[in-house]
């Protein structure tokens, strides 16, 4: 039974209201940090909508506890129907001008809403997108790749215009922004007017049909070249780690996206981007399965019909941005699951060896730099000791003693003259002549 909704929040501020939607499902260990990061936003005009999707733990209670004391929060519970249904329910309840989706095991930077809402207002953007940090769950620390996760630079425009559309670089639209819903601020009316929602008939990759059609329908998009969302990875109980029961959902999602692009009449324009993104999606979903049986099932479907249905067959090697993607797709088409796994094992072993070699080089370089710094410090100490010994030797040298003696003689004569003058002045008055000149 659905929980009785709380009283809808009333917005009375001058800034546009932003609705933050958080779906919950068995995430009691992580949701506290998520909610804390939302209520700590520097942007004051927000509402929080938490939809508990049939959790069997204390996720909802933890969320309530961390949101306590904040008026614009509401909580609902539904039977377990999947993240798409939960997010869509939050979208139905949202009252804000802008909508942000946040996963319950992730967290956001304190100024995310401030920056994103300001960007949306200044540029009249339908979508604002930003880069992300990966947060390693096992070690509780950020992962620092040399570049960000997104390819925002491919849509940086010239002449001062901060906005863009997919037409500015159709070959890279999907891989540049990804289909994550949680690193984007959407104008709510834009979503409603275009009927853009998450898929509810699948439980994985359900966000593809929200974000990617939004890229095509948006009249103005803009980007913030900062990492403002923290994406938790290496979580063993995450949806990504437990997707075997829904192993083919990704295929249904990509087929739906291709049908949408064909219906919109833009497929030919974005075909290369779609093929590359769908190819990566197919292999990523295949290789992150946990069981042998789901792996064999997905491999067989991709080999027999799936790759063809997604237009991933018949392209030249140069059509793919990564030659390895071309090789791996053809390995599915031409080989068995065992051959594919052995090929990927050999590639992974080579990658690990390369990483080990690079790490060794880095350690060697670091050790060499440390040794050089220590050698320079040792030489500086030797130089200081040398000059100190030189000074001590000079103090004891005979030339130094003779120099002191020679200086001592005139000082002695000067002192005796002054003593004589003082004695004369004491006996006969001023030691001067009558005309005021000093006495001869």
385 compared with 167, residue with greater pLDDT: 167
Q: Is the pLDDT of residue 428 over 60?
A: no
- Tell me which of 181 and 385 has the higher pLDDT: 181
Which band of pLDDT confidence, cut at 50, 70 and 90, is reported for residue 158? low
pLDDT in tens, 281-337: 999 999 999 999 999 999 999 999 999 999 999 999 999 999 999 999 999 999 999
Q: Is the pLDDT at 64 greater than 80, yes or no?
A: yes
Query: In 3D, which of 147, 152, 25 has the Cα closest to residue 82?
Result: 25
pLDDT at 138: 79
Contact yes or no for 66/185 (Cβ under 8 A): no
The position carrying tokens 């932003």 is 18
Superfamily of domain 1-242: Spore Coat Polysaccharide Biosynthesis Protein SpsA; Chain A (3.90.550.10)
- Is the pLDDT reported for residue 5 higher than 50? no
Question: How many C-beta neighbours within 10 Å does residue 400 have?
Answer: 11
Among 278-282, 315-319, 368-372, the minimum mean pLDDT is found in: 368-372
Does residue 405 carry a pLDDT above 50?
yes
- Compute the average pLDDT of residues 184-209: 96
Average confidence (pLDDT) over 147-167: 77
Rounded CA separation 124/361 (Å): 49
For residue 52, give the nearest of 86, 100, 20, 29 by alpha carbon.
Answer: 86
Q: Which of 171-180, 302-311, 399-408 has the lowest mean pLDDT?
A: 399-408
Q: Indicate the domain borders of the chain.
A: 1-242, 245-335
User: Percent of the chain beyond pLDDT 70?
Assistant: 79
Across the range 63-88, mean pLDDT stands at 94
For residue 261, how far is the Cα from the chain centroid? 30
Q: What's the mean pLDDT in 115-130?
A: 96
């Amino acid at each position: 039974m659905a929980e009785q909704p709380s009283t809808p929040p009333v917005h009375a501020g001058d800034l546009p209201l932003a609705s933050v939607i958080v779906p919950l499902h068995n995430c009691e260990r992580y949701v506290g940090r998520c909610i804390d990061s939302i209520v700590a936003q520097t942007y004051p005009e927000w509402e929080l909508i938490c939809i508990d999707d049939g959790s069997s733990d204390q996720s909802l209670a933890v969320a309530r506890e961390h949101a306590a004391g904040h008026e614009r929060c509401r909580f609902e519970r539904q039977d377990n129907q999947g993240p798409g249904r939960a997010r869509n329910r939050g979208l139905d309840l949202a009252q804000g001008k802008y909508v942000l989706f946040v996963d319950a095991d992730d967290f956001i930077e304190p100024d995310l809403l401030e920056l994103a809402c300001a960007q949306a207002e200044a540029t009249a953007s339908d979508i604002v997108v930003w880069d992300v940090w990966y947060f390693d769950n096992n070690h509780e620390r950020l992962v620092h790749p040399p570049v960000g996760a997104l390819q925002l630079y491919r849509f940086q425009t010239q002449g001062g215009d901060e906005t863009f559309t997919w037409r500015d670089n159709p070959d890279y639209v999907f891989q540049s922004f990804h289909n994550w819903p949680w690193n984007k601020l959407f104008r709510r009316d834009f979503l409603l007017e275009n009927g853009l929602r998450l898929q509810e008939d699948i439980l994985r990759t359900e966000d593809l049909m929200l974000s990617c059609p939004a890229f095509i329908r948006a009249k103005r998009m803009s980007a913030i070249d900062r990492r403002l969302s923290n994406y938790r990875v290496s979580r063993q109980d995450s949806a990504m780690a437990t997707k075997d029961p829904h192993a083919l959902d990704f295929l249904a999602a990509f087929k739906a996206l291709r049908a949408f692009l064909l219906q919109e009449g833009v497929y030919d324009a974005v075909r290369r981007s779609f093929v590359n993104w769908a190819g990566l999606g197919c292999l990523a979903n295949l290789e992150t399965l946990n069981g042998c049986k789901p792996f064999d099932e997905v491999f067989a479907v991709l080999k027999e019909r799936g790759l063809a249905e997604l237009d991933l067959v018949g392209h030249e090697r140069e059509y793919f941005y990564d030659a390895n993607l071309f090789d791996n797709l053809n390995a599915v088409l031409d080989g068995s699951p065992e051959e594919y796994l052995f090929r990927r094992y050999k590639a992974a072993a080579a990658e690990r060896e390369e990483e080990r070699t690079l790490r060794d080089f880095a350690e060697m370089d670091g050790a060499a730099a440390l040794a050089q710094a220590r050698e320079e410090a040792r030489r500086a100490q030797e130089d200081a000791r040398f000059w100190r010994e030189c000074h001590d030797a000079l103090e004891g040298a005979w030339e130094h003693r003779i120099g002191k003696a020679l200086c001592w003689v005139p000082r002695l004569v000067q002192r005796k003259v002054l003593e004589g003058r003082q004695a004369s002045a004491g006996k006969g008055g001023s030691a001067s002549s009558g005309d005021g000149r000093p006495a001869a």
